[in-house]
Chains A and B, each alone.
Chain A
């Protein structure tokens, strides 16, 4: 059964850093494009970053470019999001999500890990 489990969320001060992890099971992450998507409390979904499966290309939303870094560890079948220079507006539930290439749609989502940026 396919599963995505995020971890690493928590409380961080403005200007601080956090590293989110997403452990995948039931499939190999390097065979799929993988996304990070966040949802601020009471707000909508916001795409943050993609790590493409085959080519390893990386793409970022303008809102996080230069502050967040997406990476992948094939030996651990995991995806990561390094978040630096955190701001209050980064407070959100962060989802790891798999893109099914044939569908060009997100077919699996994790349950999310909550990040709170506050002093």
Chain B
């Protein structure tokens, strides 16, 4: 049950786009389209922003998009805004009916 691999931090200026990668294995990301992404602001519970690799829940900005290629999923945030500064976690349901999270990526909006 190794964690998915994410960069520890990324940064960008307002208006720019950034991409966060999430690397897994054939037991999770590669074989399943059950990748989700969560945004967590300090002191708050995580919030679902992407499910099923590419889909956004109702109410989530279309500035958030995601994709997957092989065993790597990616989250892109376009038109960065100050309120996007947060921690972002990827997650995947696995072949053994368990869940795994990435280590998290801290996004800094410069």
Contact = CB atoms under 8 A, between A and B. Distances in A.
B98 A47 contact: yes
Most buried by B among A37, A62, A110: A37
A95 B28 CA distance: 22
B-side interface size class: 20 to 34
Interface residues of A, number: 26
A2 B55 CA distance: 22
B104 A105 contact: no
B94 to A, nearest CB: 10
A116 interface: no
Contacts of A60: 98
A98 B104 CA distance: 20
Interface stretch (B12-20, B43-51, B73-81): B43-51
Contact of A44 (B36, B52, B96, B101): B101
B101 A45 contact: yes
Given A35-B99, A44-B104, A61-B98, A105 B3 contact: no
Given A104-B36, A104-B93, A45 B46 contact: yes
A44 B7 CA distance: 12
Contact of A62 (B1, B46, B55, B99): B1
A88 interface: no
B45 A50 contact: no
A59 B89 contact: no
B45 A59 contact: no
A8 to B, nearest CB: 17
Contacts of B55: 103
Interface of B: 1, 3, 34, 36, 38, 45-48, 51-52, 55, 57, 87, 89, 91, 93, 96-104
Interface in A101-119: 103-107, 109-112
B89 A103 contact: no
A37 B102 CA distance: 13
A103 B52 contact: yes
A106 B97 contact: no
A109 B38 CA distance: 11
A47 B4 CA distance: 12
